[in-house]
Amino acid sequence: MIGNLDLSFFNWELVSNFLAKGFYFSIQLTLIAMAGGIVFGTALALCRLSGRPWLALPAATYVNTMRSIPLVMVILWFFLLIPLLIGRSMGAELSAIITFTLFEAAYYSEIMRAGIQSVARGQVYAGYALGLTYGQTMRLIVLPQAFRNMLPVLLTQTIILFQDTSLVYAIGAYDLLKGFEVAGKNFNRPVEAYLLAAVVYFVICFSLSSVVKKLQTRIAIIR
Amino acid sequence: MIEIKNVSKWYGSFQVLTKCSTSVKKGEVVVVCGPSGSGKSTLIKCVNALEPFQEGEVVIDGTSVGAAGTDLPRLRSKVGMVFQHFELFPHLSIIENLTLAQVKVLNRSAEAARDKGLALLERVGLTAHADKFPGQLSGGQQQRVAIARALAMDPMCMLFDEPTSALDPEMINEVLDVMVQLAQEGMTMMCVTHEMGFARKVAHRVIFMDKGEIVEDATKDDFFGKPRSERAVQFLSKILQH
């Protein structure tokens, strides 16, 4: 069985014709969803920690809802609902980018919430006592420390996010996995293509994980 | 300078401060002492509204702290505060700790702030550590930086919340020395501390608190000479034994 595998179709031409475009989109989706998710997630975390029910409650509801629905359903529903709302499709790629940003924000928000809570209350007092406003205290004192404390966890979440981008197959967006799938069909070697896809995802994620582990020991704030 | 009038505070149904009234005049050094849990730290945090209070009034230099329209950040920028656990910003270097609020709150130029910061570091004897991070300094050094950070704002008065309680014994004096010098220069100071030697040396008045109430508010000589309340006598006998 294993002997029947034929990997000879895997060459540079295949990479440039089928995989590069998909790989580029997967990376783009990961980076945008990470940046957007962290910004939106931090805002959600600040709302939840604000002590004001009219901010905390909607934010908590949003986070808990997103965390209770499978990602693939959110991807599908957003893709299917948007044409009904705005009258036309926005395209699978754009739809995926928005969905991932909104979905990942819920997860990043929980990480940032833990990060903000990991910064001692006294730091907030010290900021206030110097005359800093709430916004300045958060931006200059609390969030940099929270971000730094949580950087390894944020990056780990990003690696998971990269793996999850393969779920855009549900709406037919052209990502890395799709590239392999199309190549497999073209060369009539679907099993080999999926096998290679797994290896590529594994190599990328495993090396990123090792980098995060190294980073973890290096960036800890000296206390 | 600081007027505290009938301040009461509750955590839920638990009353932590009961009708506390006192004042600190310009140039005066007032030491607040009392057993732990007596509300001294809470009271001093009420002065610059780090802790809200439900009843009474705190007025600093004519501005009511608890009033609705008060610009709290502006008011706090004029009141220096030093904390028990230093609370230096661990992600910033020592000099950045000193310049941050000068630039962001007082809108000083980066250069002016740096000059001011370095001058104050020299004053507390830590110029050589300007580019280190807080975690690289000893507790005593960190607390001296914290005092310099507060002074960098040119405050009109200083609040000290148990500044030496978290320090190893051999580091207490280096911090007290800075505080004594500050007091002798005429800084208005309100200090929560158990350092009775410090109180004897520079305090004008001593306030004794117990169970959220101000039990004694007397001049230094009266307080150490003839404390009127039983509780103050007991407290003094306990902490002055050794």
ipTM: 0.93
Smallest Cβ distance to B153: which of A120, A131, A133? A131
Q: What is the pLDDT of residue B132?
A: 95
In this predicted model, what pLDDT tens digit does every residue of A149-204 receive, in sequence order? 999 999 999 999 999 999 998 898 899 999 999 888 888 888 888 998 999 999 99
Q: What is the pLDDT of residue A90?
A: 85
Q: Which residue of B has its CA nearest to A220?
A: B91
Kindly tell me if the per-residue pLDDT of A43 is higher than 90.
Answer: yes
Kindly tell me if the per-residue pLDDT of B152 is higher than 90.
Answer: yes
Kindly tell me if the per-residue pLDDT of A221 is higher than 60.
Answer: no
Kindly tell me if the per-residue pLDDT of A13 is higher than 90.
Answer: no
CB contact under 8 A, B76 and A140: no
Residue A77: phi and psi, rounded to 5, are: -65, -40
Give the pTM. 0.87
Smallest Cβ distance to A148: which of B50, B81, B91? B91
Q: Hey, is the C-beta of A219 within 8 angstroms of any chain B C-beta?
A: no
In this predicted model, what pLDDT tens digit does every residue of A96-111 receive, in sequence order? 999 999 999 999 999 9
Query: B59: Cβ–Cβ under 8 A, 6 or more apart, which residues?
Result: B2, B3, B5, B65
Kindly tell me if the per-residue pLDDT of A146 is higher than 80.
Answer: yes
Average pLDDT, chain B: 92
Kindly tell me if the per-residue pLDDT of A223 is higher than 60.
Answer: no
For residue B227, which amino acid is it?
P
Q: Hey, is the C-beta of B96 within 8 angstroms of any chain A C-beta?
A: no
Which residues in chain A are contacts of B48 at CB distance < 8 A? 128-129
Count the domains in chain A: 1
Average pLDDT, chain A: 90
Q: Which DSSP string corresponds to chain B?
A: -EEEEEEEEEETTEEEEEEEEEEE-TT-EEEEE-STTSSHHHHHHHHTTSS--SEEEEEETTEESSSTT--HHHHHHTEEEE-TT----TTS-HHHHHHHHHHHTT---HHHHHHHHHHHHHHTT-GGGTTS-GGGS-HHHHHHHHHHHHHTT--SEEEEESTTTTS-HHHHHHHHHHHHHHHHTT-EEEEE---HHHHHHH-SEEEEEETTEEEEEEEHHHHHH---SHHHHHHHHHHS--
Kindly tell me if the per-residue pLDDT of B56 is higher than 60.
Answer: yes
Higher pLDDT, A218 or B234: B234
Q: What is the pLDDT of residue A220?
A: 62
In this predicted model, what pLDDT tens digit does every residue of A55-76 receive, in sequence order? 999 999 999 999 999 999 999 9
Q: How many contacts, defined by CB atoms under 8 Å, are there between A and B?
A: 71
Kindly tell me if the per-residue pLDDT of A1 is higher than 80.
Answer: no
Name the B residues in 26-85 with CB < 8 Å from any A CB.
45, 48, 50, 72-74, 76-81, 83, 85
Domain range spanning residue A130? Answer: 2-222
Which pLDDT band holds residue A2 (cuts at 50, 70, 90)?
low
CB B197 within 8 A of CB B205: no
Q: What is the CATH number of the domain that holds A72?
A: 1.10.3720.10
Smallest Cβ distance to A128: which of B50, B100, B106? B50
Kindly tell me if the per-residue pLDDT of B241 is higher than 90.
Answer: no
Kindly tell me if the per-residue pLDDT of B239 is higher than 70.
Answer: yes
CB contact under 8 A, B78 and A222: no
Per-residue buried b or exposed e for B76-98, using 16+ beta carbons within 10 Å of the residue's own CB = bbbbbbbbbbbbbbbbbbbbbbb
